């Protein structure tokens, strides 16, 4: 008899819940999205759905009705009654006995959660410390894939150093992005962040942060930063859907500016938040 063991219990393979055979678990064979709401309104949902469709297409999961996914997102957000919500969803290639290659007609699995956003007011008002970590990720970080082990290890390393985010550094010594955020430096009147390549996720918050920067008179430079440029910048910040803009006041134990959130970061945050209402 073909069997499985879950913790201490033997289960015949035929009776196994499909979730145990999800290719997302075996291989990280799936893609995900995270959207959030501000006061009952989901922010930039269209962009997130477009990126999700791009990720699905990049890993050749076909036959997913993106409008059905959109309806599921809206239905579950509505059902949750949570006004400041984090909505996570993923699609995996499906469930089957572990084999790198699988049937083309495998049914994709969909999973979604709606949860309360964590309180990040202290991080926003005081700023956070970050530390650098080698970018160990694969060569298609533009795909929002479920394979996040390199990101998890970098974040664990940062947490062990008392830091709230890991800033990833490639083999050339250039900063790509945060483990779960886009990374920006402000020096003088310029806002600098890495250009979008296959090594970087096309962050939606990044796009709106650049727009906010332009609106407050900052010139944008899309070019990777060296460690020296980052640690010598006037201001640093990270951007992500769940936390929008967070000031960075310490970079590898070096204080940035006077160790407090900078004036342009505050202006940029205010401008960004005006997009969300």
Active-site annotation, residues: 144
Q: Is 146 in the site for ligand PLP (CB under 6 A)?
A: no
Range in contact with ligand PLP (rule: CB under 6 A) among 115-123, 190-198, 200-208, 220-228 = 200-208
Torsion region of 145: left, alpha or beta (phi above 0 gives left; psi -120 to 50 gives alpha): beta
**With the CA atoms of 208, 71, 144 and 131 taken in that order, what torsion angle do they form, in degrees rounded to the nearest 10?**
50
Between 177 and 235, CB nearer to ligand PLP = 177
Q: Is 193 in the site for ligand PLP (CB under 6 A)?
A: no
Q: Smallest distance, Å, CB 76 to ligand PLP?
A: 19
Indicate the burial class of 173 (C-beta count within 10 angstroms; 0-12, 13-18, 19 or more).
exposed
Instruction: Identify whether the C-beta of residue 208 lies closer than 8 Å to the C-beta of residue 272.
Output: yes
3 state DSSP class of 216 = coil
Rounded to a whole number of angstroms, the distance between the first and last alpha carbons of the chain is: 58
Q: Is 241 in the site for ligand PLP (CB under 6 A)?
A: yes
Q: Is 224 in the site for ligand PLP (CB under 6 A)?
A: no
Q: Is 201 in the site for ligand PLP (CB under 6 A)?
A: yes
Q: Is 181 in the site for ligand PLP (CB under 6 A)?
A: yes
Indicate the burial class of 165 (C-beta count within 10 angstroms; 0-12, 13-18, 19 or more).
buried
What is the footprint of ligand PLP within residues 54-113 (CB under 6 A)? none
Instruction: Identify whether the C-beta of residue 138 lies closer than 8 Å to the C-beta of residue 151.
Output: no
Q: Smallest distance, Å, CB 208 to ligand PLP?
A: 8
Q: Is 245 in the site for ligand PLP (CB under 6 A)?
A: no
Residue 76 in tokens: 């579950």
Q: Is 182 in the site for ligand PLP (CB under 6 A)?
A: yes
What is the footprint of ligand PLP within residues 116-145 (CB under 6 A)? none
Q: Is 37 in the site for ligand PLP (CB under 6 A)?
A: no
Q: Is 199 in the site for ligand PLP (CB under 6 A)?
A: no
Between 106 and 276, CB nearer to ligand PLP = 276
Crossing angle (nearest 10°) for helices 45-58 and 66-80: 130
Instruction: Look at the block and give the residue holding tokens 């050339």.
Output: 172
Q: Smallest distance, Å, CB 201 to ligand PLP?
A: 4
Between 109 and 203, CB nearer to ligand PLP = 203
Q: Is 203 in the site for ligand PLP (CB under 6 A)?
A: yes
Indicate the burial class of 68 (C-beta count within 10 angstroms; 0-12, 13-18, 19 or more).
exposed
Residues in contact with ligand PLP by CB under 6 A are: 34, 177, 180-182, 201, 203-206, 239-241
């Amino acid at each position: 008899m073909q069997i499985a063991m879950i913790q201490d219990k033997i289960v015949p393979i035929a009776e196994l819940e499909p979730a145990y055979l999800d290719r997302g678990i075996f291989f990280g064979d799936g893609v995900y999205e995270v959207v959030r709401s501000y006061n009952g309104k989901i922010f930039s949902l269209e962009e997130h759905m477009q990126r999700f469709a791009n990720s699905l297409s990049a890993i050749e999961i076909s036959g997913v009705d993106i409008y059905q996914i959109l309806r599921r997102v809206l239905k579950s957000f509505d059902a949750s009654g949570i006004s400041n919500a984090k909505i996570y969803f993923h699609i995996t290639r499906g469930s089957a006995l572990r084999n790198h290659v699988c049937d083309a007609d495998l049914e994709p699995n969909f999973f979604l959660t709606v949860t309360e956003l964590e309180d990040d007011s202290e991080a926003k008002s005081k700023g956070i410390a970050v530390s650098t970590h080698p970018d160990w990720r694969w060569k298609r970080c533009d795909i929002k894939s479920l394979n996040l082990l390199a990101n998890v290890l970098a974040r664990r390393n940062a947490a062990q150093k008392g830091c709230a985010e890991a800033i990833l550094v490639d083999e050339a010594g250039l900063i790509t992005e945060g483990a779960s955020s886009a990374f920006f430096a402000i020096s003088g009147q310029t806002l600098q962040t890495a250009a979008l390549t296959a090594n970087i996720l096309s962050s939606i918050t990044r796009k709106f942060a650049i727009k906010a920067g332009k609106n407050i008179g900052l010139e944008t430079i899309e070019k990777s930063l060296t460690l020296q440029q980052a640690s010598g910048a006037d201001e640093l910040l990270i951007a992500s859907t769940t936390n929008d803009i967070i000031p960075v006041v310490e970079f590898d134990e070096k204080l940035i500016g006077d160790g407090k959130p900078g004036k342009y970061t505050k202006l940029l945050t205010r401008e960004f938040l005006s997009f969300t209402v």
